[in-house]
Amino acid sequence: MSKQTAVEWYSQEHLKLLIELENKRVSLGKYAVKHQEILQQAKQMEREQIVTAYCSDRYPCSEEDGEQYFTETYGDKQ
């Protein structure tokens, strides 16, 4: 099984959540909270994927180097 990008994961999770909302299995308030949770998780996954990709063709490269690259390139987004 191939890995998912953060965007693919977010898309699947958001669709599941929308279906739950449509089928009235979650309230609108619960939907809003859950949506923020999956959005934050997707952002963290994306950050990790970028850090990993940055270090994949550099030797030596530490996680701190990847985090520094992310922060310099994208700011301190979370």
- For the segment 29-77, what is each residue's pLDDT rounded down to a tens digit? 999 999 999 999 999 999 999 999 999 988 899 989 999 999 999 998 6
* Length, in residues, of the chain: 78
- What's the whole-model pTM score? 0.84
Return d(Cα 72, Cα 13) in angstroms, integer.
29
Instruction: Determine, yes or no, domain membership for 1.
Output: no
Total domains in the chain come to 1
Cα–Cα distance for residue pair 19/39, rounded to 1 Å: 17
> Which residues neighbour 40 within 8 Å (Cβ) at sequence distance 6 or greater?
78
Dist CA 41 CA 59 (whole Å): 28
Residue 70: give the domain boundaries. 6-74
**Cα–Cα dist 48/24, whole Å:** 34
Please check whether residue 16 lies inside any domain of the structure. yes
